[in-house]
Homo-oligomer: A and B are copies of this chain.
Amino acid sequence: MMRKAIPEASAKRLPIYHRYLGFLHSAGKKHVSSDELSEAVKVESASIRRDFSYFGALGKRGHGYDVAYLLDFFNKELHQDRLTNVALIGMGNLGRALLNHNFYVSNNLRISAAFDIDEAVVGKILSGVPVYPMSDMVAQLRIQQLDVAILMVPQEVAQEAADHLVEAGVHGILNFTPIRLTVPEQVRVQHVDLTSDLQTLLYFLDHDNG
């Protein structure tokens, strides 16, 4: 099926819809209106209807959306119908915490290989995940056919590590470093920046109340 690219803001809401639809489905609910969804996920119902419209006519006016159909649809869109293995590059405090994080248990996402330069962890299996030396990264990513990587290295080596990821054929990078990476067009970078999130929150605190 060909269709237009959806806006990034809409794409970012898909996992939120997906999670709530899974909840409704578990509770035995068959239909849901955009107003009900809106109330639960804190997104305006007009935005929900517009987001859903990008996928074609998924609901009927007055009838609401079919929960099972939508859940199945989002499962496929978000790769939740199959296990996705990802690589973790850099095993600092945050990296180690992420290994214990349960997203790979509950969401068909799994960190299946980790990489670091620290000899104290290289060659070990931490939280069930083997840790390889950075010098083997390109080779291992290719052998294990890993397409997605979580980048958590120090910022000084972030671009260099990203270059190696691209060389290894990785197409998606979840970038936890503050560096704006330069990558070829076919590689997608998603930024996670806790400091920025906190700063944005502080910005809004002043301006919502002012």
Chain A interface (Cβ < 8 Å from any Cβ of B): 5-6, 9, 11-12, 14-16, 18-19, 40-42, 77-80, 84, 86, 92-94, 96-98, 100-101, 103, 106-107, 109, 147-148, 150, 171-174, 178, 180, 182, 186, 188, 190, 192-209
Instruction: Give the contacting residue for A79; candidates B180, B192, B197, B199; CB below 8 A.
Output: B199
Given contacts A190-B200, A205-B147, A103 and B19 within 8 Å (CB-CB): no
Q: Cβ of B100 and Cβ of A200 under 8 Å apart?
A: no
Instruction: Give the contacting residue for A196; candidates B15, B42, B193, B197; CB below 8 A.
Output: B15
Given contacts A12-B196, A97-B93, A172-B201, A207 and B5 within 8 Å (CB-CB): yes
Task: Give the Cβ gap from A181 to chain B, nearest Cβ, in Å.
Answer: 8
- Copies of this chain held together in the complex: 2
Given contacts A11-B204, A40-B180, A201-B174, A209 and B196 within 8 Å (CB-CB): no
Task: Give the Cβ gap from A105 to chain B, nearest Cβ, in Å.
Answer: 11
Task: Give the Cβ gap from A184 to chain B, nearest Cβ, in Å.
Answer: 11
Q: Cβ of B101 and Cβ of A193 under 8 Å apart?
A: no
Report B-chain residues with C-beta under 8 Å of the C-beta of A78: 199, 202-203
Report B-chain residues with C-beta under 8 Å of the C-beta of A193: 15-16
Q: Cβ of B94 and Cβ of A195 under 8 Å apart?
A: no
Q: Cβ of A201 and Cβ of B197 under 8 Å apart?
A: no
Minimum CB distance partner of A96 in chain B: B97
Report B-chain residues with C-beta under 8 Å of the C-beta of A205: 147-148, 171-172, 188
Given contacts A94-B97, A96-B93, A203-B78, A197 and B178 within 8 Å (CB-CB): no
